[in-house]
Structure 1
Amino acid sequence: MKTAGELISRKKQQDVYTIAPEATVLDALRLMADKNVGALPVLKDNELVGIVSERDYARKMVLKGRSSYATPVSDIMTAAVVIVLPQQSLDECMALMTERHLRHLPVIGRGRLIGLLSIGDLVKEMVAEQAETILHLEQYIRGE
């Protein structure tokens, strides 16, 4: 089974877009829209202090009628971030995401953020693994 670190190293888009806790929610929304991502790790002095997502915006801003122009990211970010280590298996990552209802998992290696896995990344990888397994089984059945 592949690991979180292996998947991060093979991702086509390896840039991890981040934002500072004092940035405005509007800044975060612009960055997410510009980079076509659904969440941003929040870093202060290169340390992960939270994660802000479209879900945070919808639930903590829109539904409460707050201003995106004046609200800092730190007011709506999720501070209790669930992380994974590079050596953790994709099965472990999927279990965490399912159990905790998460869409994004920061990967921390050597004390720093090295990547961000999305539920889409994991599903895509598992579908590819299953397709490969099916191909090998078909070849085995045919005697190839």
Structure 2
Amino acid sequence: MKVREILQQKASDIRTVKRSEKVVAAMEQLISHKISCLPVVEAGKLIGIISDKDIFKAVYENQGGFTNFTVGDLMTEDLIVGVEDDEIEYISNIITNNKIRHIPIVDEDKLVGLISIGDVVKATEKHIKAENRYLKQYIDGSYPG
């Protein structure tokens, strides 16, 4: 299964923030939309990502003095990204090996989607269930073909 197939099943509205926005504004989006990360986009180009973990770390390290920080102060810039033609197994390995929860999907530098570990699990489960159904039909002799 390709990343493209998962993106087609997801809502196309991707919440983003700008580098210059205050962290508090990013927190408001994370909470109100019940999400755990926001891609950082400038002039249509993906330049980073900020997650709830980045913010939690800043809260802990700065004991309340984080409210004046901008997204750019806390975001991760060294991104691991995928493309729509990537296989979901490849994305799963990237997420697992790098201990990340989300991977931005890009076309050149333009953000086209965001895949979460939950998306990977759902897609894998769906694929396994379909494969099991086909195998059972084959064994039972009811497989169309």
Structure 1 unaligned regions, length at least 5? none
Q: Matches of residues 24-103 of structure 1 in structure 2 within 5 Å?
A: 24-103=22-101
Residue deviations 1:38-69 (CA, integer Å, cap 9, x gap):
10000111111110001111123334324343
- SS, match of residue 136 in structure 2: helix
Structure 1 CA distance, aligned partners of 2:64 and 2:41?
A: 23
Does the 8 Å contact 1:5/1:107 carry over to 2?
no
- SS, match of residue 47 in structure 2: strand
Q: Which residue of 2 aligns with 1:5?
A: 4
Does the 8 Å contact 2:46/2:109 carry over to 1?
no
Q: Which residue of 1 aligns with 2:110?
A: 112
Structure 2 CA distance, aligned partners of 1:106 and 1:50?
A: 9
Structure 2 unaligned regions, length at least 5? none
Superposition deviation, residue 110 in structure 1: 4.5
Structure 1 CA distance, aligned partners of 2:16 and 2:115?
A: 14
Identity score, percent = 25
TM-score, normalised via structure 2 length: 0.92
Q: Which amino acid aligns with 2:45?
A: E
Structure 2 CA distance, aligned partners of 1:111 and 1:49?
A: 8
TM-score, normalised via structure 1 length: 0.93
Structure 1 CA distance, aligned partners of 2:107 and 2:55?
A: 28
RMSD: 1.2
Does the 8 Å contact 1:50/1:80 carry over to 2?
yes
State the structure with more CA Rg.
2
Residue deviations 1:69-92 (CA, integer Å, cap 9, x gap):
311011111110110011111011
Does the 8 Å contact 2:39/2:104 carry over to 1?
yes
Q: Which residue of 2 aligns with 1:22?
A: 20
Superposition deviation, residue 14 in structure 1: 2.0
- SS, match of residue 61 in structure 1: helix
Corresponding pairs, count = 142
- SS, match of residue 18 in structure 2: coil
